[in-house]
Chain A
Amino acid sequence: MNENEIKHVIFKILKRIAPESDPSTLAPDENIRKTLDIDSFDALNFFIGLDEEMGVTVPESDYGKLNTLSEIIPYLSSRIG
């Protein structure tokens, strides 16, 4: 899975959580939770979505490091193998 494909999956999950938003307009360094108004319940759903769609289980202790696209995409691509 290349970076663009990862991005596509992320956008799909985000669109499911925040249907009125357009995730593709997110800037690489934008805080996703704040921009899309995602609460902790939906943040958990986002990580569940990553687990289901990509098989990457993000441990709770890493939640805090994954706030922007530029943080999430490399994190995922290094774990997808």
Chain B
Amino acid sequence: MAEFRMPSLGSDMLEGTLVEWLVKPGDRVKRRDAVAVVETDKAAIEIEVYEEGIIETILAQPGQKIAVGAIMAVIRTEAGKKAETPEKATLKDASQLLAEGASVPAEDKEKKLPSIPEVEARRIKVSPYARRLAAERSVDLSTIAGTGPDGAIGATDVERTTATVITQPAEKAPPTPIEETPREASQKEAPPAAPAAERHAAKDYQTAMRRAIAAAMARSKREIPHYYLQMRLDMSSTLRWLESENLKRPIKNRILPVVPLIKGVSLALRDVPELNGYWIDDRHQISEAINLGFVIALRQGGLIAPAILNADEKCLDELMDAMRDLIVRTRSGGLRSSEMTDATVTVTNLGDLGVETVYGVIYPPQVALIGFGKTMEQPWAENGMLGVRPILMATLAADHRATDGHRGAQFLDALNRHLQEPSNL
């Protein structure tokens, strides 16, 4: 038997609300199947399983808030042995965070939070802004027809609906009692009910988002001894090459300048793998897969950094598609748990508004963050000649526990080398 537990979808997550099961008892599941939709402080995420087997028992009910690490279902595995808990490392992280006394009452991993009656939810994709709007206007999202991609609900859908149904009360589901699990039969007292403020968390996404970011970033600054390196990159070859590539393409297939940067970072991480991975339990864990977290700002504030999986193996067109897909799903709903947990490094691009240099804060337990500023025409001296070139400031924020400045310098040098040969990207 394997226990399917609420995964940690990032070191800033303490709990999630089960929106919907995508499987029922008796269903066969395999690795990476999405089995449930969970609402976190940041977004609704499709949760994947990491073992093969048959769903034996479903323990958590839609609407319930569930602490990270709590059992949600039992899976009968072929071997019958207890399978590995997914994302062991990050799970541990989150429980440490819990133990450190964050704003939510610390729960024993084996315990389950009490059931809190919530609005019955079916599987709906909602943009974060639409969600906030709906919460502000007390509109039940399940009553709204979405017109976005895959029927996703956008702000305009909420606005259109609220014009007519704003006075109708939201449908409430009856309170669902928790099913007793064998494990809990002998359990002591029930955990304390969540504070009233928690119950209204759905109405305050901004607060929840800020709290999640606060927890991760405060931990980063508290624990990670950052060092910073920066390098001016001459972008002439990359941009010239990209311009000629884009001329050959219909407008829909044009590649944004950030895409070769992402590919350059991925290839440079192959050369210097020490910057790709985690620092967990006083140990540096280098990741073989290069899953590049890409920071996406949400229009209403806050950010999500979902991962482009195996970024080094994708060509520029595939990377552009992957990035487009991630941005759309980040803003309209439908990210998968692996995209939330598997990032091994993060890239942030703040050049759009003219920022020259980014001094990044590493997303724990990762060990590096690469920042890009705006590409600007600047004087550039080479071979005794002064010219004007498009110059981009690349910065590396890295964890000094995992690497030293020398490795970091090798990484930036490799990045520069790859960008000077754009046709090989």
Contact = CB atoms under 8 A, between A and B. Distances in A.
Contacts of A67: none
Given A20-B299, A40-B256, A58 B251 contact: yes
Contact of A34 (B154, B297, B353): B353
Given A18-B299, A20-B299, A41-B324, A48 B129 contact: no
A18 to B, nearest CB: 7
Interface string B329-366: 00000000000000000000000110000000000000
B246 interface: yes
B424 interface: no
Nearest to A34: B353
A49 to B, nearest CB: 10
B251 A57 contact: yes
A37 B299 contact: yes
Given A20-B300, A40-B352, A44-B256, A60 B155 contact: no
Given A34-B353, A39-B297, A19 B156 contact: yes
A44 B254 contact: yes
Contacts of A40: 256-258, 352
Q: Which of B243, B246, B256, B352 has the largest count of A CB atoms less than 10 A from its CB?
A: B352
Nearest to B352: A39
A58 B257 CA distance: 17
A19 B332 CA distance: 12
A47 interface: yes
A51 B249 CA distance: 13
Nearest to A33: B352
Contacts of B352: 33, 39-40
Given A20-B155, A60-B254, A41 B327 contact: yes
B299 A51 contact: no
Nearest to B256: A40
Interface residues of B, number: 24
A40 B375 CA distance: 13
B299 A60 contact: no
A15 interface: yes
A12 to B, nearest CB: 11
A75 to B, nearest CB: 15
A51 B251 contact: yes
A20 B156 CA distance: 9
A40 B155 CA distance: 21
User: What is the predominant secondary structure among interface residues of chain B facing chain A?
Assistant: helix
Nearest to B127: A19
B394 to A, nearest CB: 17
Nearest to B133: A20
Interface string B128-146: 0110000000000000000
A19 B258 contact: no
A32 to B, nearest CB: 13
A35 to B, nearest CB: 12
Interface in B242-259: 243, 246-247, 250-252, 254, 256-258
Contacts of B300: 20
B161 to A, nearest CB: 14
Interface in B304-336: 323-324, 327
Contacts of B129: 19-20
Contacts of A19: 127, 129-130, 154-156, 299
Interface in B291-307: 297, 299-300
A48 B251 contact: yes
Nearest to A49: B251
Nearest to A38: B352
B252 A48 contact: yes
Given A20-B299, A37-B299, A41-B256, A60 B246 contact: yes
Interface string A1-45: 000000000000001001110000000000001100101110010
Contacts of B247: 59-60
Interface in A40-71: 40-41, 44, 47-48, 51, 57-61
Given A19-B156, A20-B155, A60 B243 contact: yes
A48 to B, nearest CB: 6
10 contacts: A15-B156, A18-B299, A19-B127, A19-B129, A20-B299, A33-B352, A39-B297, A48-B251, A51-B251, A51-B252
Given A41-B327, A48-B252, 14 more contacts: A15-B156, A19-B299, A20-B129, A20-B155, A20-B299, A20-B300, A40-B257, A41-B324, A44-B254, A47-B251, A60-B243, A60-B246, A60-B247, A60-B254
Q: Which 7 A-B pairs have the closest CB atoms?
A: A19-B155, A39-B352, A51-B251, A40-B352, A60-B246, A57-B251, A48-B251
